[in-house]
């Protein structure tokens, strides 16, 4: 498995974060991570979409600095980049999640 690149969140504009959070399926991924409170494997999300589509959504979230993916053996574990997001964009994630309600 090749390395997984992540952006420096300080270089990510708020518009990229908001764009990534504008999709209902990506919001569902973020909400699952918030509810779980830790790392999840891709299969743990139980998404009603094709694997390639799910990969695209994870990539968009990762490139916006919202999630962090780490290879562990043959799996990719995903976690919310909560500490960095809250440092860079205070209250943004909570505001978006509260505004949309259940996803």
- pLDDT of 103 reads 65
pTM: 0.92
CATH for 13-96 is 1.10.10.10
- The residues pairing with 67 across neighbouring beta strands, listed in sequence order, are 80
Average pLDDT for the chain: 92
Distance CA 59, CA 76 (A): 12
Residue 48 to residues 40, 45, 54, 63, 103, Cα–Cα distance (Å): 17, 9, 9, 22, 13
pLDDT at 55 over 90: yes
pLDDT at 1 over 90: no
The token pair that represents 66 in the structure block: 């919202």
62-99 tens-digit pLDDT: 999 999 999 888 888 999 999 999 999 999 999 999 99
- pLDDT of 43 reads 85
Mean pLDDT of 48-53: 95
7-20 tens-digit pLDDT: 998 999 999 999 99
26-44 tens-digit pLDDT: 999 999 999 999 899 988 9
Residues 6+ apart with CB under 8 A from 69: 4, 6, 58, 62, 76, 77, 78
- Domain ranges in the chain are 13-96
């Amino acid at each position: 498995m090749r390395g997984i690149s992540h952006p420096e969140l300080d270089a990510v504009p708020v518009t990229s974060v908001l764009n990534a959070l504008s999709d209902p399926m990506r919001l569902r991924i973020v909400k699952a991570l918030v509810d779980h409170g830790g790392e999840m494997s891709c299969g743990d999300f139980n998404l009603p979409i094709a694997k390639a589509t799910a990969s695209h959504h994870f990539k968009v979230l990762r490139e916006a600095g919202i999630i962090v993916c780490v290879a562990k053996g043959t799996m990719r574990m995903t976690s919310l980049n909560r500490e960095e997001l809250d440092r860079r964009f205070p209250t943004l994630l909570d505001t978006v999640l509260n505004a949309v309600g259940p996803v």
